[in-house]
């Protein structure tokens, strides 16, 4: 089967699911964090699938790979913010989210490796 759009990529679909998860999770963050950590963690999560889709729309593989690296950076930023949220007591259980982050990271690295061939 041939890839039609970025929406057919498992890594894109999984990162979209992660965004949905984090929006639901951050609804319970303190009101004073609305423009702080809540906004930051949502933006970094949204950045992952956004960079995958933008990179896929570029003219060549080199540009796509660059956007995948940006998505990796956003994923790491998101993971750090998740740890901060846990340390502050805003989130109690992060095992599922950390597992999803790990899976998405592996998928991004795998796609980058594939595109570099």
Give, rounded to a whole angstrom, the gap between the first and last alpha carbons of the chain: 19
Look at the pTM and tell me if it is higher than 0.85. yes
- Is 2 among the domain residues? no
In this structure, are residues 68 and 108 in contact, taking their beta carbons and an 8 Å threshold? yes
Domain count, the chain: 1
Mean pLDDT of 7-17: 94
- For residue 19, the number of C-alpha atoms closer than 13 Å in the C-beta half-sphere is 16
Per residue in 51-62, pLDDT tens?
999 999 988 899
Q: What pLDDT digit, counting tens, does each position of 63-97 carry? A: 999 999 999 999 999 999 999 999 999 998 888 99
The CA R_g of the chain, rounded to the nearest whole Å, is 15
Token pair for 27? 């609804």
Residue 91 lies in a domain: yes
Q: Note whether residue 9 is domain-resident.
A: no
What sections of 1-117 are H helices per DSSP? 10-26, 37-56, 61-87, 95-116
Reference 31, options 42, 43, 39; nearest CA is 39
Q: Is residue 53 a part of any domain in this protein? A: yes
Asked whether residue 19 is domain-assigned, the answer is no
CATH number at residue 67: 1.20.1440.60
In a domain, 74, yes or no: yes
- Among 6, 91, 2, smallest CA distance to 41 is for 91
The boundaries of the domain holding residue 91 are 34-116
In a domain, 13, yes or no: no
Domain membership flag for residue 18: no
Q: What is the pLDDT of residues 101-114, one digit of tens each?
A: 999 999 999 999 99
């Amino acid at each position: 089967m041939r890839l039609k759009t970025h929406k057919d990529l498992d890594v894109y679909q999984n990162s979209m699911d992660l965004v949905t998860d984090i929006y639901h999770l951050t609804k319970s963050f303190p009101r004073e964090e609305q423009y702080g950590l809540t906004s930051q963690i949502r933006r970094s999560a949204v950045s992952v699938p956004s960079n995958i889709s933008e990179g896929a729309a570029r003219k060549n593989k080199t540009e796509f790979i660059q956007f995948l690296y940006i998505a990796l950076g956003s994923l790491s930023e998101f993971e750090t913010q998740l740890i901060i949220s846990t340390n502050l007591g805003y989130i109690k259980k992060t095992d599922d989210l950390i597992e999803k982050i790990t899976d998405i990271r592996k998928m991004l690295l795998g796609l980058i490796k594939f595109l570099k061939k």
